């Protein structure tokens, strides 16, 4: 079936309103509900649906089941001129993580570089949401996460020992779109694996492993494990990210977790403290142009910078609406019906 035949076009504003109302219905405070809805729809606009509103029913069910707090007590537990650690109170990950990056940005205005961490919180959605906060303030942003348990094997391993931790860097580029790297350390994110399954597409043969460490394309394999991206490189990155957003901020390594809360880590770098900002921008703009017109292979029209495809999605879908899979919308409709929230968008 053609992907377009499995999708419905939804405008961003009613989708955002639905996400907000669903959060309110489970007792999430208005400010947190709006922030979460905004970040999730922004992620959908970029085409990363696995970390956008598709994830929302799972978050809400965790609140309803008592696994996450609807109205957590978020507290700064460590702080200095260039650092801070926040306890997320076992609530949604988005509010304390946005708070952490905001603190990093403010501290970096005077210190040049600042790092913050969050512990005892839920999944934070797309890592790019937080790096873009720094980019918007003419800073370089970095974000990473240590998710709730191991799911990726080491090279040659037949057991998951690291989490599929995401990492993101964001770089301002003046009049050009920011360069925005947002990647998992596994060969793919689990969300993308689920997307392939949703659209009835095959799982690539080098993505999943059985509990014996053998390749499999069967998503339903018991004890399935994700392979690391680029072998030892992805494994090393996953472990490194899990240390920064783990023991460093008072959490555990993924290999010691069993569905525990997540931890997150952020850095803001004030470019103007390191070099002349205008000179930085001039070189970045020139570099973007050079890469975009670089020579391609015969079957490729253009090379793209990290995040450029997602920026193109956003520009198009703000005007035309977001194409969402019918199963994605069905899961939102199901939780909306359960909570008594009316769906008011026009396809």
**Which residue in 20, 48, 57, 47 sits closest to 35, CA to CA?**
20
Question: Can you give the pTM of this predicted structure?
Answer: 0.96
Rounded (10°) angle between helices 56-64 and 326-339 = 30
Q: What confidence tens digit (pLDDT) does each residue in 89-101 have?
A: 999 999 999 999 9
To which H or E segment does residue 89 belong? strand 83-91
Q: What is the pLDDT of residue 105?
A: 99
Structure tokens at 22: 């669903």
Nearest residue to 203 (alpha-carbon basis) of 186, 225, 184, 219 = 219
Angle in degrees, 0-180, between the axes of helices 12-25 and 30-45, rounded to the nearest 10? 140
Hey, where are the domains in the chain?
A: 1-71+320-347, 73-186+228-292
Q: Is the Cβ–Cβ distance between 314 and 46 less than 8 Å?
A: yes
Q: What does the pLDDT read at residue 147?
A: 87
Asked if 96 and 123 touch (Cβ cutoff 8 Å), the reply is no
Backbone angles phi, psi at 114, to 5 degrees: -145, 145
* Alpha carbon distance 296, 275 (integer Å): 33
Cα(69)–Cα(60) distance, integer angstroms: 10
Q: Write down the architecture of domain 73-186+228-292 according to CATH.
A: 2-Layer Sandwich (3.30)
pLDDT for res 347: 47
Contact 124, 43 (CB under 8 A): no
Q: Are 182 and 141 in contact (CB under 8 A)?
A: no
pLDDT score recorded for residue 222: 58
Residue 332: the pLDDT is 97
Residue for token pair 């920026």: 311
Whether 119 contacts 249, CB under 8 Å: yes
CB 264 within 8 A of CB 117: yes
Rounded distance between C-alpha atoms, residue 198 and residue 218, angstroms: 14
Name the stretches of the chain with pLDDT < 50. 347
Residues in Cβ contact with 261 at an 8 Å cutoff, skipping those fewer than 6 apart:
88, 90, 119, 120, 121, 122, 148, 251
Domain 1-71+320-347 has CATH 1.10.1530.10: yes
């Amino acid at each position: 079936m053609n992907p377009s035949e499995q999708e419905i076009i939804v405008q961003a504003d009613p989708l955002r309103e639905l996400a907000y109302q669903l959060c309110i219905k489970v007792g999430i405070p208005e400010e947190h509900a709006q922030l979460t809805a905004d970040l999730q729809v922004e992620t959908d606009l970029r085409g990363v649906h696995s970390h956008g509103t598709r994830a929302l029913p799972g978050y809400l069910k965790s609140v309803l089941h008592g696994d996450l707090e609807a109205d957590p007590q978020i507290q700064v537990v460590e702080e200095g001129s260039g650092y801070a650690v926040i306890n997320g109170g076992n609530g949604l990950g988005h509010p304390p993580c946005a708070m952490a990056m905001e603190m990093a940005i403010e501290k970096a205005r005077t210190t040049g570089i600042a790092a913050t961490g969050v512990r005892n919180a839920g999944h934070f959605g797309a890592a790019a949401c937080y790096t873009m906060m720094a980019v918007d303030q003419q800073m370089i942003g970095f974000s990473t996460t240590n998710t709730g348990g191991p799911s990726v094997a080491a090279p040659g391993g037949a057991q998951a020992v690291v989490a599929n931790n995401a990492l993101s860097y964001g770089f301002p580029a003046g009049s050009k779109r920011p360069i925005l790297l947002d990647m998992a350390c596994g060969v793919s994110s689990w969300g993308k694996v689920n997307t392939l399954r949703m659209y009835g597409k095959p799982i690539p043969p080098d993505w999943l492993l059985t509990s014996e460490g053998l390749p499999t394309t069967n998503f339903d394999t018991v004890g399935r494990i994700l392979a690391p991206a680029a072998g030892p490189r992805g494994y090393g990155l996953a472990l490194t990210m899990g240390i920064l957003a783990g023991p460093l901020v008072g959490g555990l390594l993924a290999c010691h977790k069993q569905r525990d809360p997540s931890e997150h880590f952020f850095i803001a770098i004030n470019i103007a403290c390191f070099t002349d900002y205008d000179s930085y921008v001039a070189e970045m703009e020139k570099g973007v142009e050079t890469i975009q017109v670089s020579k391609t292979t015969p079957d490729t029209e253009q090379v793209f910078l990290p995040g450029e495809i997602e920026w193109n999605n956003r520009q198009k879908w703000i005007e035309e609406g977001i194409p969402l899979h019918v199963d994605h919308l069905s899961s939102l409709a199901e939780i909306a019906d359960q909570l008594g929230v009316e769906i008011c968008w026009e396809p």
